[in-house]
């Protein structure tokens, strides 16, 4: 490959050889390994930025890249930008500020949404555009979401992905509780390649127990609404099953204070209606009435989404059937509803 200080100094052919070497040794698709390198590069950039202290990395990608709890490729970067930075009047209201009324919740949501979009468009996008241009990538903005398109070395035909990474920012929480962690590329598991690859040494990440409750309540809402909000939504059930296999569900279920905190936050900021138009009560999900297994019709839609994800190469060495995933989630549901 010649002398190079980083992956981004390599020409296209040498990048290709690096990725093929990693893919051959790790048994992974080279296009997925390539996308993972760009994910880590973006995390490194974000956590070297002026906003690093107020950003929390969360979601499935954090479960995969930080905690090693899920066995699937996670291509998007979900982030919370501290609501107290967007709405300075909340600075002294503790780790998880909550409005006292529906009217106040609506006002906070509106103000935070507007401030977040302005911050992303006016501050983050210009800085990231300069950084991506230097490595041959590009960025576009859609309100509070950034899309980074990178120069793909391998075609993505047949894969359940594209050479684009979505950075999705939220601004209605603090992201607490958090911890600091290092993030490395999957291809760095090949020791000879590691020095060339980016790494993010200090990433502030949402603790896995909160991510569990975020995903469990999202699945609960789907079971009551029976409407698939987006493709790849089946990832939540797979991730819950992976967390159960990893042995962290019991401790998450035991943290009833955290469960109630998540429910209270969602009740105020993520109001949702069931298919019968009744308002969903998130508190029921954390007090003995969690539903993770949808009815037959809703399960069928979820099944199709899951199969598309699996056939697209997103799952790692563990590739359970959809029925296996639902069976594990049924056990989680039973355990959760038995917690006093």
Q: Where are the domains of the chain?
A: 7-206, 209-338
Q: Looking at residue 89, what is its pLDDT?
A: 85
Q: Looking at residue 1, what is its pLDDT?
A: 45
Q: Give the sign of the dihedral formed by CA 113, CA 119, CA 124, CA 125.
A: positive
pLDDT (tens, 9 = 90+) of the chain, 340 residues, equals 445 689 999 999 999 999 999 999 998 889 989 999 999 999 999 999 999 999 999 999 999 999 999 988 777 999 999 999 999 888 667 777 888 898 999 999 999 999 999 999 999 999 999 999 999 999 999 999 999 999 999 876 655 678 999 999 999 999 999 999 999 999 999 999 999 999 999 999 999 999 999 999 999 999 999 988 877 899 999 999 999 999 999 999 999 999 999 999 999 999 999 999 999 999 999 999 999 999 999 999 999 999 988 887 778 889 999 999 999 999 999 999 998 7
Q: Give the sign of the dihedral formed by CA 279, CA 240, CA 72, CA 150.
A: positive
Q: Give the CA count within 13 Å in the CB-facing half-sphere of 211.
A: 31
Q: Looking at residue 232, what is its pLDDT?
A: 80
Q: Looking at the chain, list the stretches that DSSP marks H as alpha helix, in order from N- to C-terminal side.
A: 12-26, 30-46, 59-65, 83-86, 102-119, 125-134, 208-225, 235-246, 249-254, 256-269, 282-285, 296-311, 322-338
Q: Looking at residue 316, what is its pLDDT?
A: 83
- The pTM of this model reads 0.92
DSSP string, 196-242: GS-EEEEEEEE-HHHHHHHHHHHHHHHHHH----STTTTHHHHHHHH
Tokens representing 49? Answer: 């930025």
Q: Looking at residue 5, what is its pLDDT?
A: 82
């Amino acid at each position: 490959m010649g002398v190079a200080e980083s992956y981004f100094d390599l020409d296209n052919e040498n990048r290709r050889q690096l990725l093929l070497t990693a893919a051959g040794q790790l048994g992974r698709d080279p296009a997925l390994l390539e996308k993972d390198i760009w994910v880590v590069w973006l995390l490194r950039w974000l956590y070297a930025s002026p906003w690093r202290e107020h950003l929390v990395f969360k979601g499935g990608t954090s479960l995969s890249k930080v905690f090693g709890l899920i066995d699937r490729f996670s291509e998007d970067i979900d982030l919370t930008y501290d609501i107290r930075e967007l709405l300075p009047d909340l600075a002294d209201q503790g780790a998880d500020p909550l409005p006292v009324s529906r009217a106040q919740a609506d006002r906070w949501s509106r103000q935070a949404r507007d401030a977040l979009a302005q911050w992303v468009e006016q501050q983050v996008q210009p800085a990231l555009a300069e950084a991506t241009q230097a490595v041959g990538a590009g960025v576009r903005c859609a309100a509070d979401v950034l899309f980074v398109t990178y120069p793909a070395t391998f075609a993505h035909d047949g894969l359940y992905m594209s050479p684009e990474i979505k950075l999705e920012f939220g601004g209605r929480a603090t992201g607490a509780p958090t911890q600091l962690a290092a993030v490395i590329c999957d291809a760095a598991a090949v020791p000879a390649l590691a020095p060339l690859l980016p790494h993010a040494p200090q990433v502030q990440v949402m603790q896995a127990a909160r991510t569990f409750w975020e995903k469990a309540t999202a699945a609960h809402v789907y079971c009551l609404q029976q409407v698939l909000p987006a493709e790849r939504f089946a990832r939540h059930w797979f991730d819950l099953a992976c967390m159960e296999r990893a042995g962290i569900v019991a401790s998450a279920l035991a943290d009833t204070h955290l469960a109630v905190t998540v429910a209270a936050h969602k009740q105020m900021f993520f109001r949702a209606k069931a298919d019968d138009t009744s308002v969903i009560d998130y508190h029921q999900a954390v007090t003995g009435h969690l539903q993770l297994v949808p009815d037959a019709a809703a399960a069928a839609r979820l099944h199709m989404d899951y199969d598309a994800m699996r056939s697209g190469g997103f799952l790692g060495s563990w590739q359970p059937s959809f029925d296996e995933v639902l069976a594990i989630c049924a056990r989680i549901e039973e355990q959760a509803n038995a917690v006093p």
